[in-house]
Amino acid sequence: MFFEMSNVTKSFGGLVANKDISVEIAEGEIVGLIGPNGAGKSTMFKTVTGFHIPDSGSISFGGKDITKYEPNKICQVGISCTFQKSQLFSALTLEESVLVGAYCRHKRKSQALPLAHRMIEFVGLGGKEEVKISKLNMFERKKAELAAALATEPKLLLLDELFAGLVPTEVELMLELVKKINEEFGTALFIVEHVLRVIMGICTKVYVLEYGQLIAVGTPEEVTSSEVVIKAYLGDDDFYAATDIKS
Amino acid sequence: MRSDNLLRRERLLHPLTAVSLALVILAAFVPIFGDRLMMNIAIMAMIYIILGHSWNLLTGLAGMFSITHALFFGLGVYGMSISVAKFHLPIIAGLLVGLLINIVMSAIVGMIGSKLSGLYFVMAQVGLSQTIYTLSIQLFPLTGGVTGLSMPREYLMDKSTLYWIALILAILTTLAFAFIRKSRMGTMFVALKENPDLSLSLGSNVGKWRIMATVMSASMASLAGSFYALFMMSNNPEVFSMVISLKIIIVVIVGGIGSVWGPIVGSSLVVMDELIRGIMPTTMAPFSVIIYALVLIIMAIRHPEGLISIGRSIGLKLEGKSMKKVSISK
């Protein structure tokens, strides 16, 4: 398998944040991860990206066991991510910020710079190379972070609530961009999202997490009509079910 | 429009470049019009420019607060004086010995800095520097104890030679800092200061870069130290003192932290301090530290970004005016 988490458990003291999680992602696939607040989605992402080391279980990528890799090594094998609440590098310019990512694979500035420029162009921020990150707006900053992550030339990209805080028109634009990443670079995407429009729109497979455990997996349609998932999101009241979750 | 704006800002750098050229030319004339006192002051200012760049690299760029920076400076001094006075090695060997000791020491400090942060890093540094300070006094046969070692007379250079060396070193370190800031290393330094987690996840080996920053910075300070040994023709444990560390910090903070101009502008403080010391009776001289403290407090309140921020804001105002004119004429 291209990317595989098997039976990963992570706990903090007495709290089991992730229990027995198994996830599979194929090359170039777009996979979603949903779940109520506090379900352990971010913990799972941090475990994949090397910020947490799982208590048990293993993670493999491209045939390599990467369970105990440091975050920078994880990036070097081809997994990159965007953070939920990122400030990026506010003192750097856009160009320099994306360069940080580009330097992951290219040690020379003469090679890294064209790549950084290409990525800035790709996310639609061309012409703002010299602008400080602190002068960019929220939407631009998210695109900048995406550009930096793309500059590391990942084969799997993890997006942690990339769409949170965007207005509907921006969500649409970002969605186009994310689709374009998958089509043009063949990057597999693993998306944590609250905005169901995103999950429904592009994912081929969705995992649902509740209280640290996976409770469902399937196509977006299967998952959103699943009894367990509706219960997890809205409680037992049948009245609200099916209608709201799809909108 | 934006690119237009950018061009203007680029052009704004030109006055600064002009100022620096003027400074270099002015500095070139010191040996002609200046007396010994003036040359001494100028040399001290140059030494603090080098030390300022060194500190600015570690703290201003990489964000690792170096509170006992005189440790690296002092090791440079001792490397030179011990090699030359004790072991009769040539000057270049003294320089290399100082560098080597500093690389070892800074690798240790850097490793500590890649594990500890904030206050703990500061405490570890104070511990290390106190150890070295004590050793420099206690290892009498090697270091000459409290009185220090005297360099052999044949190494005595005349003031203007020393002055030229100091000027060249200051210019070289300034260029080195500017180059590093724009290079891969500089980008990685600032990135890890701004957001270590994101740097890590973008594949930057944060621990390695922290050690690298410390080693680069210590090497610069070592250079200043080795030169200082030749300038003073002796060593003494006071080169490790907190006063020197504080002066380095204040020079950069008052000038402008993180900027290549910071130490250059800030070194004017050293000039002022030396001039005041010259005027004051010798018993009062130690009180000059109070002036540093006052300047630092005032700057921290009024211009936390340093003296260069004043220059910048004036520049921006001028730019605003010229832009208004353009729009009216259109």
Contact A88, B198 (CB under 8 A): yes
Look at B197 and A83 and tell me if their CB atoms are within 8 Å.
yes
Burial class for A124, CB neighbours closer than 10 Å (0-12, 13-18, 19+): middle
Closest residue in B to A45 (Cα) is B201
Look at B202 and A49 and tell me if their CB atoms are within 8 Å.
no
Distance from the B179 Cα atom to the nearest Cα atom in chain A, whole angstroms: 12
Is any Cβ of chain B less than 8 angstroms from the Cβ of A81?
yes
Look at B198 and A89 and tell me if their CB atoms are within 8 Å.
yes
Distance from the A138 Cα atom to the nearest Cα atom in chain B, whole angstroms: 17
pLDDT digits (tens, 9 = 90+) for A84-136: 777 788 889 999 999 999 999 998 989 999 999 999 999 999 888 889 998 88
Query: Looking at beta carbons, which residues of chain B come within 8 Å of A151?
Result: 202
Look at A148 and B202 and tell me if their CB atoms are within 8 Å.
yes
Query: Per-residue confidence at A162, pLDDT binned at 50, 70, 90?
Result: confident
Look at A72 and B201 and tell me if their CB atoms are within 8 Å.
yes
Joined tokens for residue B77:
């001094």
Name the residue with higher pLDDT: A186 or A37.
A186
Give me the residue from B3, B188, B200 closest to A71, CB to CB.
B200
Joined tokens for residue B72:
């690296």
- What's the Cα-to-Cα distance from B174 to each of A141, B24, B56, B79, B231, rounded to whole Å? 33, 12, 11, 23, 20
Query: Looking at beta carbons, which residues of chain B come within 8 Å of A87?
Result: 194-195
Query: Looking at beta carbons, which residues of chain B come within 8 Å of A152?
Result: 202-203
Give me the residue from A72, A91, A128 closest to B205, CB to CB.
A72
Looking at residue B10, its pLDDT comes to 46
Count the residues in chain A. Answer: 247
Residue B125 CA to residue B69 CA, distance in Å, equals 9
Give me the residue from B191, B195, B203 closest to A76, CB to CB.
B203
ipTM greater than 0.90: no
Query: Looking at beta carbons, which residues of chain A come within 8 Å of B2?
Result: 127-128, 131
- Residues contacting B255, CB < 8 A, separation 6+: B52, B261, B262, B263, B264, B265, B266, B267, B306, B307, B308
A203 alpha carbon, distance to own chain's centre? 12
- Residues contacting A24, CB < 8 A, separation 6+: A1, A3, A4, A5
Closest residue in A to B198 (Cα) is A88
Q: Residue A40 carries which DSSP code?
A: S
Q: Which of A150-159, A214-223, B184-193 has the lowest mean pLDDT?
A: A214-223
Look at the pTM and tell me if it is higher than 0.90. no
Q: Which of B198, B209, B309 to mutate to test the interface with A (most CBs of A within 10 A)?
A: B198
Please tell me whether residue B90 adopts helix, strand or coil conformation: coil
Q: Residue B88 carries which DSSP code?
A: -
Residue B33 CA to residue B27 CA, distance in Å, equals 10
Is any Cβ of chain B less than 8 angstroms from the Cβ of A88?
yes
Looking at residue B15, its pLDDT comes to 59
Look at A75 and B199 and tell me if their CB atoms are within 8 Å.
no
Look at A88 and B198 and tell me if their CB atoms are within 8 Å.
yes
Looking at residue B1, its pLDDT comes to 41
Tell me the average confidence (pLDDT) per consecutive run of 10 residues in chain B, 330 residues long. 45 58 70 76 91 94 91 94 89 92 93 85 91 90 84 84 90 93 92 90 91 94 94 89 89 87 86 76 71 78 77 67 45
Joined tokens for residue A88:
């990026």
Contact B113, B207 (CB under 8 A): no
Looking at residue B321, its pLDDT comes to 56
Residues A42-54 have a mean pLDDT of: 90
Strand A205-210 to A213-218 pairing: antiparallel
Looking at residue B277, its pLDDT comes to 75
Look at B206 and A72 and tell me if their CB atoms are within 8 Å.
yes
Distance from the B327 Cα atom to the nearest Cα atom in chain A, whole angstroms: 22
Residue B222 CA to residue B103 CA, distance in Å, equals 9
pLDDT digits (tens, 9 = 90+) for A206-218: 998 888 888 888 8
Give me the residue from B187, B203, B258 closest to A75, CB to CB.
B203
Distance from the B311 Cα atom to the nearest Cα atom in chain A, whole angstroms: 19
Q: Residue A132 carries which DSSP code?
A: B
AA identity, residue B218: A
Contact A101, A150 (CB under 8 A): yes
Q: Residue A204 carries which DSSP code?
A: S
Looking at residue B330, its pLDDT comes to 35
Is any Cβ of chain B less than 8 angstroms from the Cβ of A107?
yes
Query: Looking at beta carbons, which residues of chain A come within 8 Å of B6?
Result: 130
Query: Looking at beta carbons, which residues of chain A come within 8 Å of B62?
Result: none
Residue B140: how many other CB atoms lie within 10 Å = 11
The DSSP line for A70-111 is -HHHHHHHTEEEE-TT----TTSBHHHHHHHHHTTT--SHHH
Please tell me whether residue A52 adopts helix, strand or coil conformation: coil
Looking at residue A219, its pLDDT comes to 87
Q: Which stretches of chain B are DSSP H helices?
A: 2-33, 36-55, 70-81, 91-115, 118-138, 140-143, 159-182, 184-194, 196-201, 206-232, 242-255, 262-266, 268-279, 288-302, 307-329
Looking at residue B320, its pLDDT comes to 61
Of residues B258, B264, B266, the one with CA closest to residue B56: B258
Contact B45, B228 (CB under 8 A): no
Give me the residue from B194, B203, B204 closest to A90, CB to CB.
B194
Residue B89 CA to residue B173 CA, distance in Å, equals 25
